[in-house]
């Protein structure tokens, strides 16, 4: 009789343990998911590289697949079609996608602050106010670098009558002008800043547009480069997995800032920056972050408002509603 009771007790314990394992397994399935992530070959992806590396090694709770693109349009098309779940995009492009999808995406975080710098060999330029009477070479009329510089000029009491803007098609063209004439003034993003200065010892960083923005910013806005968005359909079905992605992204961004040499090697491997020495110098100036919550909303909404006031089409014709911001 005693043996039978012991046998029943052992069986009961095994049943309880098995049930616990099953429930535990179910819980893991609910908290993880297969996530398709799209990113650009540029500064906005540097904070994601460690996560990409860890995912490839099988060290992540979620299962990630990554798509790298050279143009934002490639990623936005895939988001709209539902072929990507999460995408790292220029901040204004994210707002445009929000309008195109009738509010079908949510911004999770700001992944990169400003990466724009004034570069020249001149000693008389330390800020935007010193640009009066000068010509500034930059890329893309009607693009965010153009709007950001115009905003800063206006905030410092200058207009396009005081400063001449000379537009080029590519950042490499601006760098070429500076290489030939170090007394010229250029507006360049990283890593082109580091490359230009490495190629010509006479060139240097004269001012950071991020710092210039902070001097005159209103309503808590910040100069931003990239944000991370998620499709709302995916967010509704896999909220815990998205929360895990945010944790992973934060850890990855922190890794990029504190482990520059390893991140530089990953930059070269993913063809974001061609040479490790250049990457090592550029990464600390790429302002990599993972800003979330109310801080993200304040910084991003203020930035988008600046762009909207300059040209509404730059953010999709309207400012995003509050549901654009993940809190």
Per-residue model confidence (pLDDT) at position 27 = 44
pLDDT tens for each residue of 45-93? 999 999 999 999 999 999 999 999 999 999 999 999 999 999 999 999 9
Per-residue model confidence (pLDDT) at position 1 = 52
Question: Are the C-beta atoms of 112 and 44 separated by less than 8 Å?
Answer: yes
Residue 2 has pLDDT above 90, yes or no: no
Question: Are the C-beta atoms of 259 and 16 separated by less than 8 Å?
Answer: no
Per-residue model confidence (pLDDT) at position 113 = 96
Q: Which residue has the tokens 């590289």?
A: 49
**In whole angstroms, what is the distance from residue 86 CA to residue 62 CA?**
13
**In whole angstroms, what is the distance from residue 226 CA to residue 58 CA?**
27
- Whole-angstrom CA distances from 165 to 56, 147, 248, 306 are 44, 11, 41, 19
Query: What's the pTM?
Result: 0.87
Per-residue model confidence (pLDDT) at position 7 = 54
Banded pLDDT at 4 (limits 50, 70, 90): low
Please give the structure tokens belonging to residue 60: 């992540």
Mean pLDDT of 118-124: 97
Banded pLDDT at 36 (limits 50, 70, 90): very high
- Do domains 33-113+222-320 and 116-216 share one topology? The answer is yes
Residue 29 has pLDDT above 60, yes or no: no
Percent of the chain with pLDDT over 70: 91
Closest Cα to residue 272, out of 284, 260, 264?
264
**In whole angstroms, what is the distance from residue 27 CA to residue 19 CA?**
12
**In whole angstroms, what is the distance from residue 101 CA to residue 98 CA?**
5
Domain ranges of the chain: 33-113+222-320, 116-216
> Which CATH number is associated with domain 33-113+222-320?
3.40.190.10
> Which CATH number is associated with domain 116-216?
3.40.190.10
Mean pLDDT of 103-121: 97
């Amino acid at each position: 009789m005693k043996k039978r009771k012991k046998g029943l007790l052992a069986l009961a314990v095994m049943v309880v343990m098995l049930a616990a394992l099953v429930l535990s397994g179910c819980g893991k399935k609910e908290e993880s998911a297969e996530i398709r992530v799209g990113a650009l070959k540029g500064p906005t992806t540097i904070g994601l590289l460690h996560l990409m590396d860890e995912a490839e090694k099988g060290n992540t709770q979620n299962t990630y697949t990554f798509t790298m693109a050279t143009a934002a349009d490639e990623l936005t098309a895939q988001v709209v079609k539902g072929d990507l779940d999460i995408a790292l995009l220029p901040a204004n492009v994210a707002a445009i996608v929000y309008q195109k999808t009738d509010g079908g995406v949510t911004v999770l975080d700001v992944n990169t602050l400003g990466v724009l710098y004034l570069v020249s060999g001149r000693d008389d330029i330390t800020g935007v106010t010193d640009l009066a009477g000068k010509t500034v070479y930059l890329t893309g009329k009607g693009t965010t670098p153009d709007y950001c510089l115009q905003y800063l000029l206006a905030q410092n009491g200058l207009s396009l009558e005081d400063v001449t803007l000379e537009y080029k098609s590519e950042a490499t063209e601006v760098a070429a002008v500076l290489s030939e004439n170090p007394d010229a003034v250029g507006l360049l993003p990283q890593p082109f800043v580091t490359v230009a200065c490495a190629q010509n010892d006479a060139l240097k960083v004269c001012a950071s547009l991020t710092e210039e923005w902070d001097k005159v910013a209103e309503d808590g806005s910040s100069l931003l480069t990239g944000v991370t968005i998620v499709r709302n359909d995916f967010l509704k079905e896999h909220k815990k997995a998205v929360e895990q992605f945010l944790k992973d992204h934060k850890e990855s961004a922190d890794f990029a800032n504190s482990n520059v040499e390893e991140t530089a090697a990953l930059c070269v491997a993913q063809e974001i920056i061609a040479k490790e020495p250049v990457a090592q110098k550029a990464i600390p100036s790429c302002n990599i972050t993972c800003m979330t919550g109310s801080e993200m909303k304040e910084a991003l909404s203020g930035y988008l408002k600046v762009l909207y006031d300059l040209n509404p089409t730059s953010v999709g014709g309207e400012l995003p509603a509050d549901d654009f911001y993940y809190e």
